[in-house]
Chain A
Amino acid sequence: MKRLLTRQNMIIAAVLLAVYLIVQTLLSVGIISAFYETNLVLGGIGVIMAVSLNLITGFAGQFTLGHAGFMAIGAYFSAVMTVKWGMPFVLALLGGSCLAAVMGFLIGLPTLRLKGDYLAIATLGMGEVIRVVLLNTKYVGGAAGLFGIPRLTNWTWIFVSAVVTVLCIRNLLWSSYGRACISVREDEVAAEIMGVDITRYKVLAFVVGAFFAGLGGGLYAHYYYFLQPGGFGFMKSIEYLVMVVLGGMGSMTGSVMAALALTVINIFLQSYAAIRMILYALLLIVIMIFRPEGLMGSKEFSSAMFSRFERRGDRGSAGGQ
Chain B
Amino acid sequence: MALLEVNNVSKVFGGLSAVTNLKMKLGAGELVGLIGPNGAGKTTVFNLLTGVYQTTAGDIVFDGKNIAGKKPSAINQMGIARTFQNIRLFSDLSVLDNVRIAYHSHVAYKLPSAIFRFGSFYAEEEKMKARAIELLKIFHLDGKKDEIAKNLPYGEQRRLEIARALATEPKFLLLDEPAAGMNPQETAELMNLIRWIRDHFELTILLIEHDMSLVMGCCERIYVLEYGRVIAHGDPETVKHNPKVIEAYLGEEVTYA
Which residues does A use to contact B, with CB under 8 Å?
3-4, 168, 171-172, 175-180, 182-183, 186-187, 189-198, 204, 298, 308-309, 313-314, 316-318, 321
Pick the contact of B104: A171, A179, A318 (CB < 8 A). A179
> With A183-B90, A186-B91, A192-B73 in contact, do A176 and B84 touch (Cβ < 8 Å)?
no
What residues on A are CB-neighbors of B121 within 8 Å? 175
Q: Do residues B102 and A171 form an inter-chain contact, with CB atoms below 8 A?
A: no
Q: Do residues B92 and A186 form an inter-chain contact, with CB atoms below 8 A?
A: yes
- CA of A177 to CA of B112 in the docked complex: distance in angstroms? 10
Q: Do residues A196 and B94 form an inter-chain contact, with CB atoms below 8 A?
A: no
> B21 → chain A, closest Cβ, in Å?
26
> B83 → chain A, closest Cβ, in Å?
9
> B133 → chain A, closest Cβ, in Å?
10
Extra A-B contacts (4), CB below 8 Å, given A196-B104, A316-B125: A3-B122, A172-B111, A176-B114, A182-B97
Q: Do residues B93 and A318 form an inter-chain contact, with CB atoms below 8 A?
A: yes
Pick the contact of A187: B88, B94, B115, B168 (CB < 8 A). B88
> With A175-B121, A192-B73, A314-B145 in contact, do A180 and B115 touch (Cβ < 8 Å)?
no
Could you count the A-B residue pairs with CB atoms below 8 Å apart for me: how many are there?
124
Which residues does B use to contact A, with CB under 8 Å?
50, 52, 71-74, 76-77, 81-82, 84, 88-94, 96-97, 100-105, 107, 109, 111, 114-117, 121-122, 125, 128, 145-146, 148, 164-165, 167-168
Q: Do residues B114 and A182 form an inter-chain contact, with CB atoms below 8 A?
A: no
Nearest residue in B to A167 (C-beta to C-beta)?
B115
> With A195-B73, A318-B97 in contact, do A190 and B104 touch (Cβ < 8 Å)?
no
> With A171-B117, A176-B103 in contact, do A314 and B111 touch (Cβ < 8 Å)?
no
13 A-B pairs with C-beta separation under 8 A: A171-B117, A176-B104, A179-B104, A191-B73, A192-B73, A193-B50, A194-B164, A195-B102, A195-B104, A197-B74, A298-B92, A309-B122, A313-B94
Pick the contact of A197: B73, B96, B146 (CB < 8 A). B73
Q: Do residues B101 and A171 form an inter-chain contact, with CB atoms below 8 A?
A: no
- CA of A318 to CA of B148 in the docked complex: distance in angstroms? 10
Q: Do residues B50 and A186 form an inter-chain contact, with CB atoms below 8 A?
A: no
What residues on A are CB-neighbors of B82 within 8 Å? 193
> B113 → chain A, closest Cβ, in Å?
9
- CA of A180 to CA of B88 in the docked complex: distance in angstroms? 16
> B74 → chain A, closest Cβ, in Å?
8
* Pairs of residues from A and B, 3 with the lowest C-beta to C-beta distance, nearest first: A175-B114, A318-B93, A195-B105
- CA of A311 to CA of B81 in the docked complex: distance in angstroms? 30
What residues on A are CB-neighbors of B100 within 8 Å? 176, 179
Q: Do residues B73 and A180 form an inter-chain contact, with CB atoms below 8 A?
A: no
Q: Do residues A179 and B101 form an inter-chain contact, with CB atoms below 8 A?
A: yes
Q: Do residues B146 and A313 form an inter-chain contact, with CB atoms below 8 A?
A: yes
- CA of A82 to CA of B114 in the docked complex: distance in angstroms? 32
What residues on A are CB-neighbors of B77 within 8 Å? 195
> With A175-B121, A176-B125 in contact, do A196 and B105 touch (Cβ < 8 Å)?
yes
Q: Do residues A175 and B97 form an inter-chain contact, with CB atoms below 8 A?
A: no
> With A176-B107, A176-B114 in contact, do A194 and B52 touch (Cβ < 8 Å)?
no
